[in-house]
Amino acid sequence: MTIVGIVIAVALIALLVFLVNRRQAAEKRAVEIGRREMAGHRQEAEAHVRRAAELEQSADRQRRFARRHEVAADQKEKELDEAERPFRLRGRA
């Protein structure tokens, strides 16, 4: 009976080692998956930051262009106002 008991004990220990190793491997896989996901999220965040910076620069440029056109339109409006004024002779008083 002692041999059967030893075989059973060895089988239980082997099963326990197998289950522990399997659990550790699953945890390592989960950690690696998490690291890959984290790296992907960081890469996406960096891409969004770069894109936002590009859009901000583009928006600034577009604002400058808009302002130039506003100034040109104001100048033209002033020129048109002066051109539309009726011609008046200065009278003697």
End-to-end Cα distance, the chain: 141
In the predicted structure, residue 90 carries a pLDDT above the cut 80? no
How confident is the model at residue 89, as a pLDDT? 62
**Between 89 and 48, residue with greater pLDDT:** 48
For residue 86, which phi and psi values (nearest 5 degrees)?
A: -65, 145
Residues 36-56 pLDDT 10s: 999 999 999 999 999 999 999
Between CA 20 and CA 27 the distance in angstroms is 11
Global pTM value: 0.55
**Between 86 and 51, residue with greater pLDDT:** 51
Rounded to the nearest integer, the mean pLDDT of the chain is: 91
In the predicted structure, residue 2 carries a pLDDT above the cut 80? yes
Using CA atoms, how far residue 9 sits from 6, 14, 37, 56, in Å, is: 5, 8, 42, 69
